[in-house]
């Protein structure tokens, strides 16, 4: 198990990998990848044991954020940085959405938003039936919560009191078209989740101590599933990307790449 400081060091490397990937290929959902990478790294490094056939599972419902996934898979030795040049190319293993066909370590192939939580519900029910006590983690974007299927899944998970499931909501408050609440208001989000029989935590999704504490609380739940509202910044760590919806999906020029590297170098020094 890694400490919060060790995980923060890995996150800094993963942010650099995300920027490298999107710069090299000129495509990729960079903003949301940078907002979710802290939670994603913590879960894969400390909770997911690929060597154990009966293990915790992770469903990345906001599947367009594969730059974050492949950055962490690089840390795990499953992807090489040389492969970044093939990202989102035809016949590449590094598809634009997670594909279990290419990586058995991917627990769910996701694409169309709003379906990952239902998949997680099914996995959690199967684990309960099979007396497998390992957790199921689902990462959803706040924008995709405007899809009705999520709320059917919340209702079912709460009804069955699946305390072996925890959903992290990447609450960066921006979707591709602008602020999420300008489209359909999510607030009061915590109250809505509680009404669906979830226990709710709100954390700073870039504070590793808070992330690890939330994971421990969810794992030790006795009778309720947990929803963790992870308040994040879209484009976190890159000055010209932060809180800018333009960077939902966009290539990075050479000049922007230089600025991004300088920003990340400063971020690493601050967190050292």
Q: Is the pLDDT of residue 246 over 80?
A: yes
Average pLDDT over residues 55-62: 98
* DSSP state for residue 220 in the 8-state scheme: T
Confidence class of residue 255 from pLDDT cuts 50, 70 and 90? very high
3-state SS assignment for residue 233: coil
Average pLDDT over residues 199-226: 98
Q: What token pair was written down for 46? A: 């400390």
Q: What token pair was written down for 146? A: 């405007």
Confidence class of residue 210 from pLDDT cuts 50, 70 and 90? very high
pLDDT in tens, 124-172: 999 999 999 999 999 999 999 999 999 999 999 999 999 999 999 999 9
Q: Which position has the higher pLDDT, 17 or 53?
A: 17
Radius of gyration of the chain from its Cα atoms, rounded to whole angstroms = 17
Average pLDDT over residues 244-264: 97
Confidence class of residue 205 from pLDDT cuts 50, 70 and 90? very high
Q: Is the pLDDT of residue 271 over 80?
A: no
Q: Is the pLDDT of residue 218 over 80?
A: yes
Q: Give the pLDDT of residue 111.
A: 84
* DSSP state for residue 78 in the 8-state scheme: S
Average pLDDT over residues 94-99: 97
Confidence class of residue 49 from pLDDT cuts 50, 70 and 90? very high
Q: Is the pLDDT of residue 268 over 90?
A: no
**Sign of the dihedral defined by the CA atoms of residues 114, 117, 119, 121, in that order:** negative
Mean per-residue pLDDT over the chain, rounded: 96
Cis omega before residue 188 (within 30°)?
A: yes
* β-pair type (174-175, 178-179): antiparallel
- Domain count across the chain: 1
Burial class (CB in 10 A: 0-12, 13-18, 19+), 24: middle
Q: Domain containing 264 — which CATH number?
A: 3.40.50.970
253: domain range? 4-271
Q: Is the pLDDT of residue 61 over 90?
A: yes
Percent of the chain with pLDDT over 90: 94
Average pLDDT over residues 63-74: 98
Average pLDDT over residues 90-100: 96
| Cβ(68)–Cβ(33) below 8 Å | yes
């Amino acid at each position: 198990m890694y400490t919060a400081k060790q995980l923060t060091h890995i996150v800094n490397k993963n942010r650099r990998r995300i920027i490298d990937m999107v710069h090299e290929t000129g495509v990729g959902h960079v903003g949301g990848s940078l907002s979710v990478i802290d939670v994603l790294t913590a879960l894969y490094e400390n909770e997911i044991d690929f060597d154990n056939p009966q293990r915790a599972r992770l469903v990345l419902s906001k599947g367009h954020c594969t730059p974050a996934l492949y950055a962490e898979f690089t840390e795990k030795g499953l992807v090489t940085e040389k492969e970044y040049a093939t990202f989102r190319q035809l016949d590449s293993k590094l598809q634009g959405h997670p594909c279990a066909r290419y990586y058995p370590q991917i627990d769910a192939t996701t694409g169309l938003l709003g379906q990952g939580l239902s998949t997680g519900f099914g996995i959690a029910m199967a684990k309960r039936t099979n007396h497998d006590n390992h957790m199921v983690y689902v990462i959803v974007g706040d924008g995709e919560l405007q899809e009705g299927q999520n709320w059917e899944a919340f209702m079912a998970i709460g009804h069955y009191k699946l305390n072996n499931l925890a959903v992290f909501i990447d609450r960066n408050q921006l979707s591709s078209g602008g602020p999420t609440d300008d489209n359909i208001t999510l607030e009061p989000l915590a109250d809505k989740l509680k009404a669906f029989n979830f226990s709710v935590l709100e954390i700073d999704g870039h504070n590793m101590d808070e992330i690890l504490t939330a994971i421990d609380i969810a794992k030790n739940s006795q009778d309720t599933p947990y929803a963790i509202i992870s308040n994040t910044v879209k484009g976190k760590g890159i000055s010209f990307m932060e809180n800018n919806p333009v960077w939902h999906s966009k290539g990075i020029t050479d000049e922007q790449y230089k600025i991004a590297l300088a920003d990340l170098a400063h971020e690493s020094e601050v967190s050292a």
